Amino acid sequence: MGIEQLPPGWLLILGALLIPLLRGRMKAIWLLAVPAAGLVHLVFFVPDGSGMVASMFEYDLVLVRVDSLARVWGTIFHIAAFIAALYALHLKDDVQQVAAFLYAGAAIGAVFAGDWITLFVYWELTAITSVWLVWASGTERAIRAGVRYLIVQVGSGVLLLAGVILHVRQTGSLEFTNLGGVNDAASLLIFVAMGIKAAFPFLHNWLGDAYPEATVTGTVWLSTFTTKLAIYGLARAFPGEALLIPIGAAMTAFPIFFAVIENDLRRVLAYSTNNQLGFMVVGIGIGTAASINGTAAHAFADILFKSLLFMSMGAVLFRTGTCKASELGGLYKSMPWTCAFCIIGAASISAFPLTSGFVSKSIILTEVSNAHFAVVWLLLLFASAGVFHHSGIKIPYFAFFAHDSGIRVKEAPLNMLIAMGIAAAMCIGIGVFPGPLYALLPNQPETYVPYTLPHVVTQLQLLLWAALAFSVLNWYRIYPPELRSTNLDFDWVYRRAGPAVVSACGRLITSVQHAAVTVAQDGLVWAIERVHRHHGPQGLLARTSPTGSLALWVAILLGAVLVLYFT
């Protein structure tokens, strides 16, 4: 088998198996070389088209299908894996390193899956490998969050499989391709399965629940793969599905309210992940060639700036032991580099000119505007101001500035700084030179021009006036203070209401059973009393006659027979 036939992702999966055997410098080199080799393999060796067809019963499994859409995700997944591996290089925990590599490999494999069954296998593999990154925190809280995460993720896979089985029965085709919208039970099941991983409204809580509980380095891995794989799946199977437009618009707008009042800064980032996914979902829903390009470009950009933000907050957590806004502040004095990188990530997610968000998100907004969806457009604009508020300002402000918490720590370790530096350089590089990213997009030619005078001016007006709003509210002490708290979200339904309903049902069943037993016992007592009355010692039916009286009666009968016989 030639190297060009090796499926993308398998280098990471096979490479993961060697990690526990290596030590010291060799291990560090291996951890960086494997994702780098995977990227080189994908870009220079893997040809377009389908490969590795395996037969299963009467169906053909296409293990590898390479096209321009898959290449966008494959490329950025490899880059993100390299950056995350570098960020986690200091880690002395084989379980996390192996799990992370298997997870990344599975996600890449899923992107290049050509049929639904192969996709399903990788889909579940991402779930069962990534949960170890949550569990590796080792706290009771993390273990519980990990279990909830695993249930949701595996559940998504089960729905996917159910939908696929129905789909194959109806169409006889296993090809992982455009389903032409949500129009029957099969496509609905697949849609919901993908919606869970893409964190649709009411299906989103696993994200804010599990990501902040994962380890410092684990969250960086998690932030890249699962949700963006789901976006890829939606872009592949449901482009132009109109349902995605309101769903995506809701996703951009509602998490920002939670992000404003959330104290755990990694949870704030989880909410902003949700918000950014919304933009991508809207892009898929619009479904034009340009809007799919916008989604692909924004997924690419988002993976970089979201990793960067999670890395900077991870570095803060690593050094100070907390990621709570109420405990932090003034860290720019002791972690200036981390602070600078965080600000670059914050500017990128806010789509400031000269950063990656500016050249990617605006493609989607332009397409919404071209389609004349005024309400959706206004919601996305509101969400753009909102994301600047909670991720662009709140994250750097409360961690690195605000009031000085008195915390003095060392700057983040060198490997973390280099990883953040690479991500930051890419955020700015894409923002300044969007050409290479646009050339990678699935629908060519991509002719969007981000740097026009009106675009730059209006975007600066929007963002700086949003910054002014933050400053004014802070200046007059109207801005809500950061408080140690838990904010209820939809997960309350299954973490509190669900168990409460179950235990109420339990109590109801117990009392019904108790009542039933009482009624049954009373009935039984009544029956026994009746029987006792008639058959008891005083009962009519229970009178015993002596044996002698029977003999007398037999004698009388015999006598009567004798008399009759002889007469």
Partner 1 sequence: MTVDPTDSTDPNDSTASTDQREPPRWLDAFENVRKVYQWLWAVCLLLLVGGEGLLRWAHHRSQQAGDTHHAFAFESWPGFYALFGFIGSVGLVLAAKELRKLLMRAEDYYGD
* Cβ 84 to partner 1 shortest distance, Å: 19
* Cβ 339 to partner 1 shortest distance, Å: 12
Buried/exposed 73-103: b ≥16 CB within 10 Å, e otherwise: bbbbbbbbbbbbbbbbbebeeeebbbbbbbb
The binder of partner 1 chosen from 50, 178, 288, 369 (CB under 8 A): 369
Q: Cβ closer to partner 1: 30 or 495?
A: 495
Within 75-94, the residues that bind partner 1 by CB under 8 A are 90
What's the rounded Cα separation, in Å, for the pair 396 and 233? 33
* Cβ 214 to partner 1 shortest distance, Å: 15
Q: Which of 205, 94, 95, 221 is nearest to 153 (CA)?
A: 205
Helices (H), 324-433: 336-349, 356-370, 374-387, 395-400, 414-432
Residues 254-293, mask of contacts with partner 1 (x by CB under 8 A): --xxx-xx--------------------------------
Can you tell me whether residue 53 is helix, strand or coil?
Answer: strand
Q: Cβ closer to partner 1: 122 or 388?
A: 388
* Cβ 446 to partner 1 shortest distance, Å: 20
Q: Cβ closer to partner 1: 67 or 327?
A: 327
182: left (phi over 0), alpha (psi -120 to 50) or beta: beta
Of 98-106, 222-230, 479-487, 521-529: span binding partner 1 (CB under 8 A): 479-487
The binder of partner 1 chosen from 1, 478, 541, 564 (CB under 8 A): 478
Q: Does 548 bind partner 1 (CB under 8 A)?
A: no
Q: Which helix (H) or strand (E) holds 51?
A: strand 49-56
Phi, psi of 183 (to 5 degrees): -135, 0
The binder of partner 1 chosen from 410, 436, 541, 547 (CB under 8 A): 410
The binder of partner 1 chosen from 59, 479, 490, 494 (CB under 8 A): 479
Within 483-512, the residues that bind partner 1 by CB under 8 A are 483-489, 495-496
Buried/exposed 434-468: b ≥16 CB within 10 Å, e otherwise: beebbebbbeeebebebeeeebeeebeebbeebbe
Of 29-37, 66-74, 153-161, 481-489: span binding partner 1 (CB under 8 A): 481-489
Give 257's Cβ-side CA count (13 Å radius). 7
Within 4-33, the residues that bind partner 1 by CB under 8 A are none
* Cβ 309 to partner 1 shortest distance, Å: 19
* Cβ 149 to partner 1 shortest distance, Å: 14
Distance from chain centroid for Cα 434: 28
Of 113-121, 161-169, 353-361, 373-381: span binding partner 1 (CB under 8 A): 373-381
Q: Does 460 bind partner 1 (CB under 8 A)?
A: yes
Q: How far is CA 566 from CA 425, 557, 560, 562, 563, in A?
A: 133, 14, 10, 6, 5
CB-based contact 320:328 (threshold 8 Å): yes
What's the rounded Cα separation, in Å, for the pair 338 and 399? 11
Within 227-256, the residues that bind partner 1 by CB under 8 A are 256
Judge if the upstream peptide bond of residue 239 is cis by omega within 30 degrees of 0: no
Give the position of tokens 């399965």.
Answer: 193
The binder of partner 1 chosen from 23, 372, 477, 543 (CB under 8 A): 372
Q: Cβ closer to partner 1: 374 or 552?
A: 374
Q: Does 466 bind partner 1 (CB under 8 A)?
A: yes
Within 126-155, the residues that bind partner 1 by CB under 8 A are 140-141, 144
What's the rounded Cα separation, in Å, for the pair 153 and 196? 8
